[in-house]
Amino acid sequence: MSTTNPIAELKRLGQSVWLDQIDREMIQSGRLARYRDAGVSGVTANPTIFARALESSDAYAEHVIRRLDRGQDPESIVWDLLIEDVQAAADVMRPVFDREHGGDGFVSIEVSPEIAGDTERTIAAARDLQRRTARPNVMVKIPATPAGLPAIQARIAEGANINVTLIFAVERYVKVVEAYLAGLEQLRESGGDPRRVHSVASFFVSRIDTKVDALLERKPQLKHLLGRAGIANSKLAYEMFTQLHSGARWDRLRAEGASVQRCLWASTSTKNPRYRDVMYVEELIGPATVDTMPPATFEAFSDHGRVQLTLQKDVEGARRVLDELAISGVDLAAVTQELEDEGVAAFAKSFRESIQNLPKVKVSGR
């Protein structure tokens, strides 16, 4: 029987595994520490995940009731609880951060999705979250919306660690890297230290297939393309990553200690039961990347994941998949724009619902 640890093998090949989950029970029970010891080197979450935790976990109830009883408003309670969770998770991940000399061990917290269209408010909110979390291994998430891009650049220029989220299109990703590089250049010009800045660019993978497959189901002659768009799109993004982190401009930044902005593969759980449950992990393995997995995907990959360098294999085949989709009338640009709009709206809805539902939180026996 093989004793190979798939999670350790990913690390050996240059890919970090982050957990796409955060809640108070997980932290307090020691479960997050056990994930860390099993190879998880970071944590991400989003408003939907946190709203679900608030609704389903008893760990928040006493804290909520106590705050409501003293007249604190629900929105500030939600932020207080989330910041407390992020601080506690960052403390759990701090040994990884220290061992990796600041290159890993991050926990992400997202600015309010309700301000995704407002650059200045996003910058202010990102600064505030960095200040309130007060941990060196916290990354603030800023969405890659048109209004988010200048906010990303501004915060990188101020020396912050930023997780750029809700990326779907390769064309938008190019602008994300530009914001990162320009921010690093501004930081350098102002006398800051690029060595202290780390960033990831979070590509959402399976959601693309969910949307594209729905279009392909109407075209039986294209069934061979089912479940292939998300991975193909990600492979071309990684090809762009290698191009954008090379050449004279990047060499100057690298010479001063700048780190690459790693691609992070998000939405890696398989939504379609017809597909292999670890498909999105297995097909996107490559150096200088992060794969963020929900607990179920982490457990499945730990159990039966196959590990080999796949991210740079058959990039031409990936290009042909996207070309064939385009020829067949699937407008990937329209699909990715829809996904961005829906992603912002869904996160904003979850955030608002978590505030509205807060007074309904029940305490056992009360």
Give pLDDT tens digits for 323-339. Answer: 999 999 999 999 999 99
Residue type, 79: W
The answer to whether residue 364 is domain-embedded is no
Provide the pLDDT for residue 362: 53
The answer to whether residue 81 is domain-embedded is yes
Structural domains of the chain, count: 1
The answer to whether residue 365 is domain-embedded is no
The answer to whether residue 1 is domain-embedded is no
Given a cut of 80, is residue 183 above it in pLDDT? yes
Return the CATH number at 17: 3.20.20.70
The answer to whether residue 152 is domain-embedded is yes
Name the pTM for this structure.
0.95
CA atoms within 13 A on the CB side of 341: 6
Given a cut of 80, is residue 3 above it in pLDDT? no
The answer to whether residue 366 is domain-embedded is no
How would DSSP label each residue in 2-60?
A: ----HHHHHHHTTEEEEEE---HHHHHTTHHHHHHHTT--EEE--HHHHHHHHHH-GGG
Give pLDDT tens digits for 157-177. Answer: 999 999 999 999 999 999 999
d(CA 361, CA 60): 8
CB within 8 A of 36, min separation 6: which ones?
92, 93, 95, 96
Q: Say if residues 71 and 362 touch (Cβ distance below 8 Å).
A: no
Give pLDDT tens digits for 218-269. Answer: 888 999 999 999 999 999 999 999 999 999 999 999 999 999 999 999 999 9
Beta bridge partners of 117: none
What range defines the domain where residue 155 resides? 6-359
Give pLDDT tens digits for 119-161. Answer: 999 999 999 999 999 999 999 999 999 999 999 999 999 999 9
Percent of the chain exceeding pLDDT 70 equals 98
- Nearest C-alpha neighbor of 112 from the set 123, 101, 103, 104: 123
119-133 vs 74-99: helix crossing angle, rounded to 10: 60
Does 313 qualify as catalytic in the annotation?
no
Q: Looking at 141, 175, 211, 235, which residue is catalytic?
A: 141
